[in-house]
Structure 1
């Protein structure tokens, strides 16, 4: 049997059938039903898969293509999951957690995940902060040319840092105010880069995505090019398919 089966995700029965999909290592993707669960899998060609960009995108592409064919309710599985036998899936996953999986299917039925990632230019924001904050600007200017003690350097640094943090929180709060009421659930994740200030996923009713996207676009216009907003309107619901 080689290295076993590489798993992509779980669908409620009858699940995807007769789809022509290509998985990792260019292997054909198949479906396998156990009770009322259907697993998408391909033959594993490696004992362990490196979490490279190519492999991660390949994993996600299989799920997104299945969704694109109309199989919208799914539980995406964590990248790199390889099993040796279907009996092991039955014993280790379905028997202890089958009821939770069914509850997740109910939660995700008719809903989709979308994501918003916001980045800004810290140097530019600092310039804008100084232009807008007269007292902070005057304090900074008054210290120019002077020999500063460590306490003075720390104090002015902290004041600027706090003002920048407040500036960031104001941006985030505007997004929360507009976007959160449109979502059934929200997952706020850690920023991925130093310039990223917000990284959120939203679970929304499937058919409301166009209006959600319009709100993102209106916020982009509102901030007049200050922010770079990456909006992903089609992705497997990784953030909302977590077993407790």
Structure 2
């Protein structure tokens, strides 16, 4: 049963009407040109798609394969967007947001999104911080086994927290200082776990990825086993494709 069109993303120029990519439900992927913009789509076999890992990966794979085919400037659309007709696209997206779409395409021209997630071991960092700060370590050690007032507990806790925060910020600043000059834009997000200390996406010129990757590797070598770095070197620019209504 056909339920309309499942939309993946938009390109600023006309692209081939048929692309050798399979989308959701293993459907062929096509492009539809509307008002000069190319919409990447496949026939929708469901009215609503479950945000399962399999479906999400299929959505992302279509976009990444299209970019790897040479269609570099892409405005990705959110997962699960099904429309009944192309008139819906014209009325609800193109007409009200055409100017904003053009601005986004200028920003995203020939770029890709890469992301960095940095992890450390909080216990190991706390121990290393104490070893590098004898005065603070002495204060803490002197309090062990004593009945402390609330003020004393708060005071030593704040000292430890501020020193650990400074240690964390030093790591983050090293990454930022080295990588920001290669990026057109950076979006920093909240860490997702206790041991994650930095979570950021970088919008970089397509051809600077190899240099970006080299710098990530160099910083990784600098910190050795102290950090774990998760580097995603290629994705559609979701983080930077926000339309502000």
Q: TM-score, normalised by structure 1?
A: 0.94
Structure 2 residue 44 is matched with structure 1 residue 48: no
The answer as to whether partners of 1:16 and 1:71 remain within 8 angstroms in 2 is no
CA RMSD of aligned residues (A): 1.5
The answer as to whether partners of 1:75 and 1:237 remain within 8 angstroms in 2 is yes
How is 1:128-167 mapped onto 2 (pairs within 5 angstroms)? Answer: 128-167=128-167
Structure 2 residue 96 is matched with structure 1 residue 96: yes
User: 5+ residue gaps in structure 1?
Assistant: none
The answer as to whether partners of 1:114 and 1:204 remain within 8 angstroms in 2 is yes
Comparing 51-60 with 204-213, which one deviates more in the overlay?
A: 51-60
Comparing 49-58 with 130-139, which one deviates more in the overlay?
A: 49-58
* Aligned length, in residue pairs: 244
Q: Distance in 2 between matches of 1:75 and 1:39?
A: 10
Q: Which runs of 4+ in 1 moved over 6 A?
A: none
Deviation at 1:151, TM superposition (A): 2.8
Q: Distance in 1 between matches of 2:44 and 2:124?
A: 48
CA deviation map 1:104-146 (0-9, x unaligned): 2222222222111111111111111111111111111101111
3-state SS of 1:225 partner: helix
Structure 2 residue 84 is matched with structure 1 residue 84: yes
Q: Distance in 2 between matches of 1:119 and 1:26?
A: 36
Q: Distance in 2 between matches of 1:111 and 1:50?
A: 29
Q: Distance in 2 between matches of 1:23 and 1:163?
A: 50
User: 5+ residue gaps in structure 2?
Assistant: none
The answer as to whether partners of 1:8 and 1:79 remain within 8 angstroms in 2 is yes
Aligned match of 2:231? 231
Deviation at 1:72, TM superposition (A): 0.7
